[in-house]
Amino acid sequence: MKGKIAFEEHMAIPETLEDTRAFAGDSGKWDDFTRQILDMGDERLEIMDKTGIEFTILSNNAPGVQGIRDVDQAVEVARKANDAMAEAVARHPDRYAAFAALPMHNSDVASEELTRCVKELGFKGAMVNGFQQTGQEDDVLYLDETELRPFWGTVSELDVPFYLHPRMQLPSRAPIYDGHPWLKSSPWGFAVETSIHSLRMCGSGMFDDYPNLKIIIGHLGEHIPYDLWRIDARMAFSRREYRGNRPLGEYFLDHFYITTSGNFQDPAFKCCLDVVGVDRMFFCADYPFENMEDAADWYDATEVVSGEVKLRIGRTNAIELFDLDLD
């Protein structure tokens, strides 16, 4: 399929590059990976052309700004990453847009940078890599916490999508992984961390306060679509401190959008479609952590969808969600 749009597609600047070494794959391929994630020019565009991906929304790599505890340093690095993406978009406006990298230490700094990126740089939303590290080494701030509620007011006012991307849990907060570090990263821990974070958001009351919020998660829903019926069924017996006014599943189905990033298989894809519906499904690749070729080859060949539905998931849903000026 030609004309696909992908938007979990990552870049790095030198200040955030090393953050990815732990989960970028075989250490022997680090030089190739480094070249790919720093590049926002010819090599990336050539692969996009080869795989039928017309347009990409760029985002800074994980954990990126979320791993910087000092707020002033985080603001500086976020602005540098965002300015680098803005330069790439200016060079190739028909191929790229961008998501803002945000320092999430408090609502003021996060709102200021998001507003700058959307209103001055024309960004299409934000991508934040899970919880924000703050203060001491083990201090973290999750996005549903009360002190960040004014930030969500800014997101609501700007009316832009927000991509919640995975990151690894801190060792001090995840003893269950002791002796099995391979579990902490993309094979399992990414989905665990992001799914719990998403469910926290659903149960926090934030969607009652701001009913137009649009949250995107990748990897075919980080296991949530598969379990959504059971989550709601068991919530009847487990509502202690649940702050939502509606069933959790309703918030998820009303506010979350799902991409195919890094999960290229038919059974899970069909499950997502059955649970969330065609309008909330999107093609993505997760480059360079995944190959664009693998993503595109799978999507182009899958028989789970065809015709107009394949076009919607691969292209037109993204045009509508991000208000893209594409024919």
Residue 225 CA to chain centroid, in angstroms? Answer: 16
Known active-site residue 254:
no
Q: Where are the alpha helices (DSSP H) in the chain?
A: 14-17, 30-38, 42-51, 71-91, 107-115, 149-158, 189-202, 206-209, 224-235, 248-255, 266-276, 292-301, 307-311, 317-322
Phi, psi (rounded to 5 degrees) for 212: -100, 10
Catalytic residue among 42, 49, 159, 286: 286
Number of H helices, E strands in the chain: 14, 10
168 in Cβ contact with 22 (< 8 Å): yes
Rg (CA), the chain: 19
242 in Cβ contact with 235 (< 8 Å): yes
- Any idea which residues carry the catalytic annotation? 286
